[in-house]
Amino acid sequence: MINKIVLVFAVIAVIVVGILFNHDFSDEEITPNPALAKKSEVKKSEIKSKKDVKIVYKEDVKKVVKKIDKKQDFRSYVDENVKQMHTLSKTKVGEYSLSIKTPKKPKANRLAPPQFPTILRGEINGQKFSLTVPQEAKKQNLVFTITKQNASAVINLDVIKDVSAGQMVDIGNLNPPQDLSDSKKRQDFEQEAQSEVESNTQESQNTQSESIAPPTPPSIGG
């Protein structure tokens, strides 16, 4: 009886081994562990996101006033940049507001000895005024504005760049029109005033240089 049972188990074992040996598992799908599959997807998405990251630099929206282009009209340059310009000094004469402006605030050299500013003086319709220009500001474009009721006449003041520190310059008597909003009258005044400022500045410098007598050389011998 026992021999029959052993024989039956032996036959069954041979059949099972034969089935396993002849069966092809290559086409069967292996179901992955759900937890491992989820981790794999996370890693793939992390890698993909790292590759797709783009660095975007914010542009500086603050408008920067550049130096005047030699080919650019001075009037259009001022109209475009005057609101962003730095005011060096300002005063008021009657109904007119006067100021000297530069594209940006000048930086003083802390290592250099202090220097007196250039003093600009003149008259508007016979009324005197004076303004100051720091020496370090002369490295930039200098703009002289005469304003009345939000309308301005502008004069290129670069002519004083060669004036020595501490020197006084008289630009003469300027007669702006009552209505600066009239573009024709303003343009005519700007052209006339520009010529006056340049010639008066040159004359003022010549007068000062002539008034300073050269030092007397020391006498030699008895």
Spell out the alpha helix ranges (H) of 56-182.
74-81
Which pLDDT band, with edges at 50, 70 and 90, does 143 fall under?
very high
Q: Distance between CA 89 and CA 132 in Å, rounded?
A: 6
CA angle 14, 20, 23 (to 5 degrees): 135
Provide the pLDDT for residue 214. 45
Share of the chain above pLDDT 90, in %: 43
Q: Distance between CA 131 and CA 117 in Å, rounded?
A: 10
CB 106 within 8 A of CB 137: yes
CB 103 within 8 A of CB 125: no
Q: Distance between CA 159 and CA 196 in Å, rounded?
A: 11
Mean pLDDT of 16-23: 57
pLDDT (tens digit, 9 = 90+) per residue, 74-129?
888 888 887 889 999 999 999 999 999 999 999 877 777 878 899 999 999 999 99
